[in-house]
Structure 1
Amino acid sequence: MSTTVTPLPPRRPDSYRTPPAHHVGDPPTSFRNPWLSYSNTTVNKIIKTRFGSAKNFVAVPADRVGLVEVRQPDFGVHKDGLKATWIGHASFLIETPKVEGAKRGMRILLDPVWSERMGPYGMVGPVRFTPTPCSLDDLPDVDAVCISHDHYDHLDSDTLRKLNMRHNGRLKYFCGLGVKAVLTGLGVGIRAEQVTEMDWWDTVRVEAHGINSADLVCTPAQHRSGRTPWNFDGTLWCSWAISEVPEGGKKLFFAGDTGYCHVTSDDEPSHHNAPHPPCPAFAEIGELYGPFDLALLPIGCFSPRSLLSGQHSSPDDSIAIHIDVRSKKSIGMHYGTIRGGISINYEPVTEPAQRFKKAAEAEGLHWGTEIGLCDIGETVTV
């Protein structure tokens, strides 16, 4: 099956400037979060927090009580609509609605990771405490892969090698600036012509011939990048807005990995008492590309807040993102799968789901309709 990629004129917010504020250098040699809502995490701050603040280590429940359930996915084969199947952490299989005469919709993998350990060479890094719901061999054929950034828990070389081999090098990959060199340098067979590199607000139309078309917009996120200590922030991180073609079809927002607003106290879980306003990018995304039928929002690996709030959303923060992007329905992700290297000492793995529901109810949102969670392997259809 052939897939074509066509650049479209970008829509950008009024705040956009040339050169872009998130570029360091022209042309850029690295990238930054250009908002007051972000505070840079220094090595000294990491060491001070790690060894100088009170810990709250709670082991993963051996009986799995309170943990996310895992089910064998059916990928929504008997459902019609925009479908998102959670693989765990930030990995999803998206399928657009089926158009008349097509056997299926367009399938897009978001941050696919099937490995048990997420780190360099599979030797270091966090290990899954919740398994994947299926093997890669159980996955149906896909048309495209979107990568939010190059951290190991979002860009996994072994998974991409197996995917690329299975699809005979025909898969199309979409990523932020600088990530193309990462993908082609993994040694997994991904060729430069398979990869489309995009800046914030860039838009392309992807057409899987005989299936469907979708517009992909590389949208901002507040995070960081780097797979080695000597290349921090050398590649661009992003979120994704995915729209069914023709215009007026279903729309999905994938936040990837993002913060919302830096707070200075570990006792403050969200942006409500922050010294600066929250990241304005999400309201801009909502204004330009919303309302979204479905949003996939991170809710875990968010503690300690004084260290991680600038780049990892708390459940309370993601409720605010849900409102900012004008989502009709949002599902929590980036929890229940692995423990982060820092947050393992501060965040019980059952906390994100509990806090997400509490924050939604405090905002007056209807749990299960406007805001909710799903099982790993479950397909959410809108």
Structure 2
Amino acid sequence: MAVTAPVVVSIPAQRAQEDNKEAGGLAPLAHHKKKGGFVNPWDSFTDQGMSPFVLWQMWRDWQSHPIPPPELLPQIVPVNWGQSSSASPAETAAWSKDLKSTWLGHACFLVEWPTPEGAPAGTRGARVLFDPVFSNRCSPSQYIGPARVTKPPINLKELPHVDAVVISHNHYDHLDVATLKHIASQPEGTVHFFAPLGNASWFTSTIGVKKDQVTELDWWGERDLKVKVGEGEGTEAHLRITATPCQHFTGRGLHDRNDTLWASWAVTSPTGGSVWFGGDTGYKSVPRGATSEEGLPVCPAFAEIGRRFGGFDLACIPIGAYSPRHIMSKVHCSPEDAVELHVAVKSKKSIGMHWATWVLTDEEMTEPPKRLRAACEVKGITPDQFGVCAIGETVRITPSLPSV
């Protein structure tokens, strides 16, 4: 089929402003600094900064944890995008009605929505790629910085055509120049990039995309995306993409801290299938020397997300890079925090991400899923409701009724 450009439809600005006024009782732009840049506007965030001494201590602690042997790390499986090559027509029809999510390592997921109603057999659904990073190092340079411990399950050239790329924030383990340049080399104009406020100029200057190929959104801002996924009638897929709040920070250099916004994302479809992508986020701020995390203020944004959307078929929630707690808790969830997010956003099925790809913090690399399972058991949450998957594995979910 001839590939055409996705169409982005604006939602009235007044609606986004009215929604923002409801968010936790905050003023509409409480996360905006008066002179530019952004802040976390909740009691759950305390910014103590990171002095060179603290960073040196963290680096020293990282070195004290040897990388586990490959057999203890996440399994890497062949990618089949959830469909067997020997599938029967009935199996293929069932596959086309499902929401399909493939973990490509760290925070990268390729999600394919159900085929549009009435589309011919074999027509795919809309594809959204979240936070793709295929480079070896999450660093300004591919010569220094954290190198991958687990590899992507496919070569970047094997990535299928994607309709939209959604970026949570500009840290190097979520925003990668080489990966995005490759994706932007799809037939001109056939992929659209979504990112939080302040990132559009980076995409045009660094990745080289045109202005009409990138949309930046504030928290609660949303756009409708129309994608042609086949020939003829009934082959236009519709998605609604909404930037939702989270608790984090940004910066790619020494002098741009919080100049751009960070976000989680909700992507929903009128044909069924709703996904919440957590990006990077903390949930609370744990003081140094704390013996318990009970009673600390928690970020109210996630309960608000759950209330507004009424729940999600799938949530991708970070479970790693949380230690030491007095430093990392404000910007990265522990597995126990991740379970609270799963409950707050009312997810039917959640997959743990942001672990075992790079050594970023000082917890042992195989610890996050163990703590996740223990925390889920306390809440009565089954492995099928919240767990982890293999790198390259496609998880299929039967979508709920249309959510928009």
CA distance in 2, matches of 1:16, 1:204: 24
Question: What residue number does 1:193 align with?
Answer: 212
- In the alignment, is residue 23 of structure 1 matched against residue 40 of structure 2? no
Question: What residue number does 2:88 align with?
Answer: none
Contact 2:264 2:279 in 1 (8 A): yes
Same amino acid, percent of matched pairs: 38
Give a deviation string over 1:219-265, Cα, whole Å, max 9, x none.
0010000101100000000000010125xx22110000000111114
Q: 2:42 aligns with which of 26, 35, 55?
A: 35
Say if 1:68 and 1:185 are closer, same or farther in 2 by CA, change over 3 A: same
Contact 1:266 1:304 in 2 (8 A): no
1:121-136 pair list within 5 angstroms: 121-136=141-156
Which amino acid is 2:213 matched to?
Q
Question: What residue number does 1:255 align with?
Answer: 278
Which amino acid is 1:24 matched to?
K
Give a deviation string over 1:241-296, Cα, whole Å, max 9, x none.
010125xx22110000000111114676xx8425x321000000000013111100
Give a deviation string over 1:137-190, Cα, whole Å, max 9, x none.
21111100000000011000000111111333431000100011222221x321
Question: What residue number does 2:7 align with?
Answer: 4
CA deviation after TM superposition for structure 1 residue 53, in Å: 11
Which amino acid is 1:225 matched to?
T
1:184-223 pair list within 5 angstroms: 184-186=204-206, 188-209=207-228, 210-223=235-248
CA deviation after TM superposition for structure 1 residue 7, in Å: 1.6
CA deviation after TM superposition for structure 1 residue 347, in Å: 1.0
Contact 2:245 2:264 in 1 (8 A): yes
Which amino acid is 1:261 matched to?
K
1:116-195 pair list within 5 angstroms: 116-186=136-206, 188-195=207-214
CA distance in 2, matches of 1:58, 1:22: 36
CA distance in 2, matches of 1:53, 1:112: 25
CA distance in 2, matches of 1:123, 1:52: 21
Contact 1:118 1:124 in 2 (8 A): no
CA deviation after TM superposition for structure 1 residue 43, in Å: 2.8
- In the alignment, is residue 67 of structure 1 matched against residue 85 of structure 2? no
Question: What residue number does 1:84 align with?
Answer: 101
CA distance in 2, matches of 1:226, 1:91: 19
Say if 1:324 and 1:214 are closer, same or farther in 2 by CA, change over 3 A: same
- Based on CA coordinates, which of the two structures has the bigger radius of gyration? 2
1:338-357 pair list within 5 angstroms: 338-340=358-360, 343=361, 346-357=362-373
Q: How many residues align?
A: 367
CA distance in 1, matches of 2:278, 2:213: 23
Q: 1:365 aligns with which of 381, 388, 391?
A: 381
Contact 2:24 2:304 in 1 (8 A): no
Which amino acid is 1:5 matched to?
V
Question: What residue number does 2:89 align with?
Answer: none
Structure 1 runs (4+) deviating above 6 angstroms are: none
- The RMSD of aligned alpha carbons is 2.0
Segments of structure 2 that go 5 or more residues without pairing to the other structure are 84-91, 229-234, 398-404
Say if 1:136 and 1:167 are closer, same or farther in 2 by CA, change over 3 A: farther
Q: 1:318 aligns with which of 338, 346, 350?
A: 338
- In the alignment, is residue 377 of structure 1 matched against residue 392 of structure 2? yes
CA distance in 2, matches of 1:114, 1:55: 26
Say if 1:173 and 1:234 are closer, same or farther in 2 by CA, change over 3 A: same
Which amino acid is 2:363 matched to?
E
Which amino acid is 1:36 matched to?
D
Give a deviation string over 1:30-88, Cα, whole Å, max 9, x none.
000000101114133x62474399947221123x2321000121112353411110000
Say if 1:119 and 1:14 are closer, same or farther in 2 by CA, change over 3 A: closer
Say if 1:91 and 1:266 are closer, same or farther in 2 by CA, change over 3 A: farther
CA distance in 2, matches of 1:105, 1:41: 45
Which amino acid is 1:105 matched to?
G
Which amino acid is 1:194 matched to?
Q
- In the alignment, is residue 233 of structure 1 matched against residue 268 of structure 2? no
DSSP 3-state at the match of 2:141: helix
CA distance in 1, matches of 2:289, 2:194: 36
Say if 1:212 and 1:303 are closer, same or farther in 2 by CA, change over 3 A: same
Which amino acid is 1:31 matched to?
F
- In the alignment, is residue 58 of structure 1 matched against residue 83 of structure 2? no
Which amino acid is 1:242 matched to?
V
TM-score scaled by structure 2?
0.86
CA deviation after TM superposition for structure 1 residue 350, in Å: 0.6
CA distance in 2, matches of 1:381, 1:250: 11
